[in-house]
Amino acid sequence: MTQPAAPPALLAQPVPAPTNIAVSDDLSFLDLTTAAGDAMRLSAGRLRGACKCAHCLRARIDGVFPQSFDGIAVTQVSPIGDYAINIAFSDGHARGIYPWAFLLGLHEAEA
């Protein structure tokens, strides 16, 4: 017996890994170069505010998630397989996983 096909909306489209990932000298931006050669720049505050980890989701539900993260810095970037990165911030938060597709979506939302 065959399984019914998943609806197209449920099928994730793979996004190739960036060819370059760097933190700006002042630690306030994450700079990426996509596989297509496009440059992306995302602010540390935007990235911290977009975290989807369980801790941040709970804080949003409880109404205690900060409205902004002014002055926050990216302190570390670590690969998660070949589909995402983990970003650590100067406030000690380092729980979020940022898939390539999510980062691309953040960039497109700012454009």
The model's pLDDT over 47-100, given as tens digits with 9 standing for 90+, comes to 999 999 999 999 999 999 999 999 999 999 999 998 999 999 999 999 999 999
Closest among 9, 101, 12, 13 to 50, alpha carbons compared = 101
Query: What residue has token string 């980062």?
Result: 103
The model's pLDDT over 11-53, given as tens digits with 9 standing for 90+, comes to 667 889 999 999 999 999 999 999 999 999 999 999 999 999 9
pTM above 0.75, yes or no: yes
| CB of 50 closer than 8 Å to CB of 43 | no
What's the pLDDT at 1?
55
Catalogue all structural domains in the chain, each as residue range(s) with its CATH number. 18-110 (3.30.2020.30)
